[in-house]
Homo-oligomer: A and B are copies of this chain.
Amino acid sequence: MDSVVPLLQRAETVYIATHISPDGDAIGSSLGLALSLGAMGKRCTVACADPAPPSLSFLPGVRMIVARPPAGQDVIVALDTGDTSRLGALYAPKAFHGRPVINIDHHLTNTRFGTINVIDPQAAAVGEMMCTLTAALGVSLNSMIATCLLTAIVTDTIGFRTSSTTPRVLRAAANLMEAGASLADIVQQSFESRPLPVLRVWGNVLSNFHVRDGMAWASISRDILQQHGVKEDEIKGLVNIMRGTENVQVSALLMESADGHVKVEFRSNGHINVAEIAIALGGGGHRAASGCVLAGALADAEQRVLAEIRKHSRP
């Protein structure tokens, strides 16, 4: 991380970009870095091709996020972004050339597209790496920065529940609480508040999902989502609960999206590497949590998903 410090110290303007379909780590890390650099007197632009999800609307600075490519800033920082395609419409090759691109990520599969690449697959979240970076920059944390970075950590570890949660993560979180972040508020905002129609869809899925040979799976049709007035990206956490069924090693949740694609989420107890399953189906992710998007009908997608899981479950 030390190589990044002088570049950021010299910059007057910084463009911070993160990945499409942004999650809490993407948005929290980006805003936390922007607020830190702002406190150092830099002008920052935070960019994401997709809007932040409503569950993150409590984060300070979330309204300053734009969907524009870089426009001549001194330095570009890409956060939590495994490859440039994950930047979506932000990635205009011309705008990325001719200036330093700092690529900070914790995905093992990162393509090292930056001029400087800081990739730490041991980090539970990019938010954890941002704690190191802000310390190296000498930024004194305030409650806004701390809230953004703790949200990044809490969301990417599902509230310290992933196997990536180390003592270092817990101590970083303790420091962020002491700097003014409210863990209880972040947990409540990020996880615990769900619209009633979303819980009705949960009820439907939990009443009907399939369990066989250590696999748990369910398909949510467009009809079910429309009947409850729920968008597929509101269904979060359910695949974790399915994975937690006794004797289940891997879970898959398929959701038919409005545009006719099928969004698939995978979770594993760590014995089966679901990143490999998702990659085989054109997606990506981590060992215990991954996803992909499939074309075609829901029933066909389910067959492809089950076949791929079986292939990777064989001893």
Among B159, B168, B242, B246, the residue within 8 A (CB) of A161 is B159
Say if the beta carbon of A167 comes within 8 Å of chain B: yes
Residues of B within 8 A of A304 (CB): none
Residues of B within 8 A of A241 (CB): 194, 199, 202
Q: Chain B's nearest CB lies how many Å from the CB of A306? A: 18
Secondary structure at chain A's binding surface: helix, strand, loop or mixed? helix
- Size category of the binding interface on chain A: 35 or more
Residues of B within 8 A of A243 (CB): 192
Say if the beta carbon of A226 comes within 8 Å of chain B: no
Q: How many copies of this chain does one complex carry?
A: 2
Among residues of B, the one whose C-beta sits closest to the C-beta of A207 is B203
Q: Chain B's nearest CB lies how many Å from the CB of A270? A: 8
Say if the beta carbon of A57 comes within 8 Å of chain B: no
Q: B192 to A244, Cβ gap below 8 A?
A: yes
Say if the beta carbon of A85 comes within 8 Å of chain B: no
Interface string of A70-107 (1 = CB under 8 A from B): 00000000000000000000000000000000000000
> Which residues, 159 to 180 on A, are CB-close (under 8 Å) to B?
159-163, 165-168, 170-171, 173-175, 177-178
Among all A-B residue pairs, the 3 with the closest Cβ atoms: A203-B207, A203-B206, A192-B244
